[in-house]
Chain A
């Protein structure tokens, strides 16, 4: 593979890879290392991939396998499959999400169980379809839909808690917030 190709691929995908790695590891150093390792694996094994349209999926899959390989000894989350049950989703408004900064949202996402977090991140940040995720994670499409549903429910609970914490913070320190800043000027801790 030509160096220019490598540079082009890194430029295009390193942010996605890092984002995915961070959502898995919850740690900047480990996420950076995982991203670097994935790029290294691409440089050494990428010639095996013939269809460039599958490049992103290849990179994300490789990163995920690398992560699993490193964390094989850790406790796996129990896989809970759900069907078309009613989900008691807390009411989270898009405006509440807009008021968060990206790191606060990512922090909330990293608290979602890993089994749900992975498809959730791929769905939201990488715009992957449930079919692509099923292929990548080697599970049936129905399982992916279930995991998305569960993951969304967990994330919304966490975002609802976050919004309550933010509201409490406003209430406890009114002098720090000017009226015109109220919707957007406050950073979560």
Chain B
């Protein structure tokens, strides 16, 4: 191996020294020990690689990226563990799907109104990308106002005590629907949808109505100009607890 070949090999040597046991480098390292100029080159190379590596390691990620990733994860349905399908289970599943198809066929007419809106919002949670992330509810509300002039709604007192995660704006029948996400102590998220009452033909009553929607337990009510939907994973009791006197 000549000097040029040794340089070619040694430039792949990691400055951390993690390649010490790699035999690929041993011939080149032996060559280096015999050649003072090569040694000097290698030392400079290592110092430069170390400086570049350290500096690149300092490159920052956006402040809210981590919180946003975690918020999205906790908003998504947990993937089910893989199971082995026995023939019996497969037959049961097919029978269930057939029954489901029957129900679906009977309800084929176009969906409108609050139930459809709520279903759509819950579906939106399955591919949630927050527009803005902040642990400060005031900042979140400020952002909602600045972007779509969403204001005049009230956040339930039980949710005000929780740190916010961020928000998202969707549209329903041309009206902006705000979603504000909060973080629970157990690391999961709870979601508050704020929907203009004028966007719905059949808004719910003033007392919370609880309903299960796929993985989510929801509580919905109307208060003045807005319809509110709160959603979290779990049972009705846990949602009632969260909403406090409102429920």
Contact = CB atoms under 8 A, between A and B. Distances in A.
Interface of A: 1, 3-4, 6-7, 10-11, 14-15, 18-19, 22, 28, 32-33, 35-36, 39-40, 43-44, 47, 83-86, 92-95, 97-98, 100, 102-103, 105-106, 109, 121, 123-125, 127, 129-131, 141, 144-145, 148-149, 152, 155
21 contacts: A3-B74, A15-B60, A19-B59, A19-B61, A32-B65, A33-B129, A35-B65, A36-B65, A36-B129, A39-B69, A83-B8, A93-B48, A94-B51, A97-B48, A109-B56, A121-B56, A123-B12, A124-B52, A125-B59, A152-B11, A155-B52
Chain A facing B: main interface SS: helix
Contacts of B58: 102
Nearest to B130: A36
Contact of A47 (B48, B51, B56, B81): B81
B76 A130 contact: no
A183 to B, nearest CB: 14
Contacts of A14: 61, 65-66, 69
Given A10-B69, A94-B48, A152-B11, A106 B4 contact: no
B68 A36 contact: yes
A145 B12 contact: yes
Contacts of B7: 84
Contacts of B47: 94
B60 A102 contact: yes
A124 B62 CA distance: 21
A127 B59 contact: no
A14 B68 CA distance: 11
Contacts of A22: 59
Given A94-B48, A105-B52, A109-B56, A129 B65 contact: no
B86 interface: no
A34 to B, nearest CB: 11
A105 B49 CA distance: 13
Given A22-B59, A102-B59, 5 more contacts: A44-B79, A94-B48, A97-B51, A102-B57, A105-B55
